[in-house]
């Protein structure tokens, strides 16, 4: 029997493991990319909590805005589809799809296709001599030539600066909630009337919360979109597509790398003008005459008072609420990703805080890839949604496999 000292033990525990590729994030994109890489026989490490965004940062009882047929994770043989899962479980192919069905589906995908997810968080990533050193929160260290950042909306919650005057107990972001229990019997103001703001308003009201909803513009209600009920004429005018019906959305999905070829100003204009915040039609009756809706107004003054907050709106109306929930979306900024070492951040080419990517989703740092939300300025709106995983996953996986081959 050999005896080792504490120092040696610590050293052993910190032993560096090497992988062909490390994936940071185990959401739909991270899992899909892992599936394609494993199929290519690569030595893959994937870190993060499977479906954490969907389990911990979306409200229970939520329905998906996307159709079930547009919410597939991607495996190379397309064996683990949502359709097959629904059939196996005897669930109906309904729209809207309950979030619980999607979580169950994606967990089934993960357990069958990517069973080796390591739930440890990544603490920091640095680059030395062409290799990335990935330090895990539990002290382990991993080395790899390729890293895929699949961290979704994490780190990017958008909090408009006018709310900085309030302490955290009076203002929070919708990212922080999986239910609204803490507000039962209280009055909250939800700021932002996109899908998340309006759905949170409906769910919070149904959980016994008094809800006011503030929208800068009139709420944009999406037209009903039941695939089975659409007539042939409607389908010709606006074909079914994963993002929403329409020829442009159809083209983005059918030719998923075409958007990349547009000039950056054209891409920026498209993203700015085509995707205004909107809410599904099935939320209309769940909020009408139930939620106090303030459209075409903004907040002009905020003052903490009596444990809550006095709010003055741009038309002069005053409200007193117990809490403000910002459903103001997500803005990518690599500087918020504190896990990237300062030296790496300094060298990473970004424009307006968004990493610049080559046609393989790779940054100017060889072997460092960004997918999902961080990639939409380059690759288009498809990649904001799960539906984009079927195009991103094979593309990123083949680039990494080629790189691994070259480095042999």
Contact pick of 22, 26, 198, 302 for ligand FAD (by CB under 6 A): 26
DSSP string, 256-310: TTTGGGS-HHHHHHHHHHH----B-GGGHHHHTTTSEEE-S--EEEEEEETTEEE
> Within 107-166, which residues bind ligand FAD (CB under 6 A)?
121-122, 150-154
Residue showing tokens 């809550």 = 308
CB of 23 to ligand FAD, least distance (A): 9
d(CA 11, CA 7): 6
What is the CB-side half-sphere exposure of residue 259 using CA atoms within 13 A? 25
Tokens of 127: 């680059």
Residue 47, interface with ligand FAD (CB under 6 A)? yes
Residue 328, interface with ligand FAD (CB under 6 A)? no
CB of 153 to ligand FAD, least distance (A): 5
Residue 196, interface with ligand FAD (CB under 6 A)? yes
CB of 154 to ligand FAD, least distance (A): 4
User: 31 - beta bridge partners?
Assistant: none
277 versus 386: smaller Cβ distance to ligand FAD? 386
308 versus 355: smaller Cβ distance to ligand FAD? 355
d(CA 381, CA 251): 12
Contact pick of 197, 245, 256, 372 for ligand FAD (by CB under 6 A): 372
State the alpha helices, DSSP H only, in 62-119: 82-89, 99-113
Residue 27, interface with ligand FAD (CB under 6 A)? yes
Helix, strand, coil share of the chain (percent; to 5): 40, 20, 40
CB of 218 to ligand FAD, least distance (A): 22
CA distances from 97 to 68, 69, 70, 203 (A): 6, 10, 11, 15
95 versus 311: smaller Cβ distance to ligand FAD? 95
Residue 275, interface with ligand FAD (CB under 6 A)? no
125 versus 302: smaller Cβ distance to ligand FAD? 125
Give the phi and the psi of residue 235 in degrees, each rounded to 5: -70, -30
d(CA 62, CA 198): 11
Contact pick of 19, 20, 22, 30 for ligand FAD (by CB under 6 A): 30
Binding letters toward ligand FAD, positions 70-99, x by CB under 6 A: -x----------------------------
DSSP string, 322-375: SEEEE---B---GGG-TTB-HHHHHHS-EETTEE---TTSB-SSTTEEE-GGGG
Q: Which residue is nearest to ligand FAD (CB)?
A: 152
195 versus 212: smaller Cβ distance to ligand FAD? 195
Count interface residues toward ligand FAD (CB under 6 A): 30
Residues near ligand FAD, by CB under 6 A: 24-30, 47-49, 52-53, 58, 64-66, 71, 121-122, 150-154, 196, 339, 372, 385-387
């Amino acid at each position: 029997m050999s005896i080792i000292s504490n120092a040696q033990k610590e050293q052993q525990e910190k032993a560096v493991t090497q992988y062909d590729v490390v994936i940071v994030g185990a959401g739909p994109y991270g899992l899909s990319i892992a599936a394609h890489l494993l199929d290519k026989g690569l030595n893959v490490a994937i870190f993060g909590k499977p479906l954490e965004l969907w389990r911990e940062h979306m409200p229970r009882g939520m329905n998906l805005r996307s159709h079930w047929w547009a919410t597939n994770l991607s495996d190379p043989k397309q064996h683990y589809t949502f359709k097959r899962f629904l059939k196996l479980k005897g669930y109906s192919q309904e729209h809207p799809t309950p979030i619980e069905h999607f979580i169950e589906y994606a967990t089934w995908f993960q357990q069958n296709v990517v069973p080796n997810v390591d739930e440890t968080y990544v603490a920091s990533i640095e680059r030395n001599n062409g290799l990335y050193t990935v330090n895990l929160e539990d002290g382990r260290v991993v080395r790899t030539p390729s890293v895929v950042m699949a961290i979704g909306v994490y780190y990017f919650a958008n909090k408009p600066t006018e709310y900085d005057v309030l302490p955290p107990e009076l203002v929070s972001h919708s990212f922080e909630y999986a239910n609204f229990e803490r507000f039962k019997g209280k009055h909250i103001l939800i700021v932002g009337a996109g899908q998340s703001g309006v759905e949170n308003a409906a769910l919070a009201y149904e959980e016994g919360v008094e809800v006011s909803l503030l929208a800068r513009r009139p709420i944009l209600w999406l037209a009903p979109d039941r695939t089975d009920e659409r007539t042939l004429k409607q389908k010709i005018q606006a074909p079914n597509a994963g993002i929403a019906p329409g020829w442009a959305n159809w083209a983005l999905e059918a030719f998923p790398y075409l958007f990349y070829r547009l000039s950056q100003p054209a891409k920026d204009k498209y993203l700015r003008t085509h995707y205004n915040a909107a809410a599904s039609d099935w939320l209309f009756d769940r909020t009408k005459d139930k939620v106090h809706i303030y459209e075409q107004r903004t907040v002009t003054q905020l003052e903490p008072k009596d444990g809550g907050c006095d709010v003055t709106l741009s038309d002069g109306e005053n409200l007193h609420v117990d809490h403000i929930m910002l459903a103001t979306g997500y803005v990518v900024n690599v500087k918020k990703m504190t896990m990237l070492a300062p030296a790496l951040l300094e060298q990473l080419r970004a424009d307006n805080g968004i990493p610049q990517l080559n046609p393989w989703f790779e940054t100017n740092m060889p072997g460092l890839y960004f997918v999902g939300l961080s990639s939409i300025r380059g690759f288009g709106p498809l990649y904001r949604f799960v539906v984009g995983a079927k195009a991103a996953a094979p593309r990123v996986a083949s680039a990494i496999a080629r790189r691994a081959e070259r480095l042999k």
